Structure 1
Amino acid sequence: MSERQKIMLVTGMSGAGKTTSLRVLEDLGWEAIDNFPIRLLRPLVREVLAGEDRTPLAIGFDARTRGFAPGAIVSIAKTLSERDDLELTTQFIDCNNTELERRYNETRRRHPLANGRTAMDGIRAERDLLEPLRRWADMLIDTSELSSNELQQFVRQNFETQNAGELGVTVSSFGFARGMPPLADLVFDMRFLDNPHWEDDLREQTGLDEPVAKYLRQADGFEENFTRIRDLLLDLLPRYRAQGKSYVHIAFGCTGGRHRSVYTAQRMAQALRENGYAPTVTHRNLASRATDSVELQTA
């Protein structure tokens, strides 16, 4: 059987980051088309499949696109997703209303659906319009708490090295005291372990340093629970793939995001590599300064 053609439909709220995502995909070797007329989607797919070039194709559209009708788009996507020669995914870029309003006010741009009203009126109208697409999407990226650079990093992590048929896996660490990761699919709380922060000789070190690693390996409850989580992930990941999910973000959290979560993420990434996966590893709060005030915010 010939290689399946990868096509990604990229849509979402105006101002949430669709254009940024498409630009990064293009940098990664995808052929990217923005504001593509929906009525031409089926003819385009037929033309692409008739050729021999299997360059991944990203097609962007939103409420400004000619002929935009979310119900019709979902119907077309359902039909196309049934083809054996096509790997179709839908990426929805979202953002909360308050942050979108701030972005529009900051740039002084007019919302495309405002029609002479306020930006918030346009945002609410667009959200109602896009709801069918949001429910249908395989991948929802919420950029409410993300900078443009962070969104670019996320897209690169998930699409840079992934080959057709592979499951893209990201393993990350974070600190609960600095907020939950908005894009995680699975979150594991490592705060049941003794905190190395309260050991004077370990406080300024991180989970990447051997003294911290040794402390956590010997911590009550670490090894047995790490094994349970590893076995759970090794069971779940192929099940996600079988259900059509292409990307999974696994996040490990502790209080400050510098010790317990970092070490666990590193160990888990290695365990996944040993079982045939190629995870991307990120440490959100690793560079944050160790402070008692942060550690005291949560258990």
Structure 2
Amino acid sequence: MKFLIITGVSGAGKSLVVKYLEDLGFFCIDNLPPVLIPKIAEICMQSRGKLNKIALVIDIRGGELFNALFPELNALKESGLSYEILFLEASDKVLIKRFKESRRIHPLAPEGRLMKGINQERELLKEIKRIATYVVDTSNLTPRQLKEEICNIFVEGKKFDGMIINIISFGFKYGIPIDCDLVFDVRFIPNPYYIDSMKKLTGKNDTVREYVLGFNETKGFLSKLYDMLEFLIPGYIKEGKSQLVVGIGCTGGRHRSVAISEALFAYLSGKGHRVVIEHRDIDKDGKGGK
């Protein structure tokens, strides 16, 4: 039996995950009081295999009822029923943006400041996050990417190392993404923008990609970048980092940064890392940004 507890900060995407898990054949219950966990487990065990994939969403919406979560999990463990915990996380900036866009009220800040509720919730959830089987940071994941991540974990059984690597190509003239952990400036590479046949293309085009990646400067840079990331990634994972955001920037975010980000994405994916890619500025300059 697959018995999954879904929890995490409000606004991190639990509702989306429930939809994806239902599509994968899970029987899902949202906002379940923890005291009912043993009863649900009993029903599942008596179903003779009819209910073999269960997902229960338990979070701070239950108010004081949430405090019973740890005793009930201990009771499950003592009964011999194994379970996993999926914790969904997101940055403060992203959570605030999502709440404002949805116009929803934070459960812990019905009349107060949103940030106060977020901080209070993080404090209440820090222990369950510490023992979680999976911690997925949804800050830079599109709904499609989040669905892929859920499928990777619960269908394909791919190795979960606790960290997602986000590669973001961008243009310096539009500003550096503020959530980057590492930023690399590739403006030292010759610019396809100044070649008429490539000016209106992007780094996803074969001609542009071959041009950008064909220089010795690019080959040397990528070799050193690969080595450095392979050195850093295990350390980040060991320290419990759930997300690494790598920014690759050129002038306009359309040619060089895109081609190099695609090369980095292919390399890290080929090494078995969990990687997502975003080209933030690829379409911003209608004239074919540099």
Same fold (TM over 0.5): yes
Structure 2: gaps spanning 5 or more residues: 130-134
- Aligned-pair distance for 1:11? 2.9
- Aligned-pair distance for 1:47? 6.4
- Maintained 8 Å contact 1:171/1:249: yes
Residues in 2 aligned to 1:276 and 1:113: alpha-carbon distance in whole angstroms: 39
Deviations 1:134-184 (A, max 9, x none): 575323334xxx8xxx742331232234422424856533315265275x7
- Aligned-pair distance for 1:35? 0.3
Structure 1 residue aligned with 2:123, among 131, 144, 166?
131
Kindly tell me the number of residue pairs found equivalent between the two proteins.
Answer: 274
Q: Equivalences for 1:194-273 in 2 at 5 Å?
A: 194=189, 196=191, 198-201=193-196, 202-219=198-215, 221-234=217-230, 251-255=246-250, 256-273=252-269
Residues 1:174 and 2:166 aligned together: no
Deviations 1:258-287 (A, max 9, x none): 222321232233334544567555434333
Deviations 1:50-76 (A, max 9, x none): 865796544323332264446x64677
- Maintained 8 Å contact 1:251/1:265: no
Q: Compared with structure 1, are the counterparts of its residues 62 and 289 closer, same or farther at alpha carbon in structure 2 (3 Å cutoff)?
A: same
- Maintained 8 Å contact 2:6/2:86: yes
Aligned AA (2:184) = D
Q: Which moved further from structure 2: 222-231 or 4-13?
A: 4-13
Q: Which moved further from structure 2: 221-230 or 123-132?
A: 123-132
Residues in 2 aligned to 1:11 and 1:209: alpha-carbon distance in whole angstroms: 40
Structure 2 residue aligned with 1:12, among 2, 6, 9?
9
Q: Compared with structure 1, are the counterparts of its residues 190 and 122 closer, same or farther at alpha carbon in structure 2 (3 Å cutoff)?
A: closer
Residues 1:88 and 2:79 aligned together: no
Structure 1 vs Structure 2 CA RMSD = 4.5
Residues 1:193 and 2:188 aligned together: yes
- Aligned-pair distance for 1:90? 1.3
User: Which residue does the alignment assign to 2:146?
Assistant: 155
Residues in 1 aligned to 2:32 and 2:258: alpha-carbon distance in whole angstroms: 42
Residues in 2 aligned to 1:6 and 1:237: alpha-carbon distance in whole angstroms: 30
Percent of counterpart pairs with the same letter?
A: 18
Residues in 2 aligned to 1:111 and 1:242: alpha-carbon distance in whole angstroms: 32
- Aligned-pair distance for 1:213? 1.8
- Maintained 8 Å contact 2:14/2:88: no
TM-score (norm 2): 0.67
Structure 2 residue aligned with 1:60, among 57, 62, 72?
57
Structure 2 residue aligned with 1:164, among 157, 177, 181?
157
- Aligned-pair distance for 1:210? 2.8
Residues in 1 aligned to 2:74 and 2:224: alpha-carbon distance in whole angstroms: 37
Structure 1: gaps spanning 5 or more residues: none
Higher helix share: 2
Q: Please give the secondary structure, in 2, of the residue aligned with 1:193.
A: coil
Structure 2 residue aligned with 1:102, among 84, 93, 100?
100
Aligned AA (2:213) = R
Residues in 1 aligned to 2:98 and 2:225: alpha-carbon distance in whole angstroms: 37
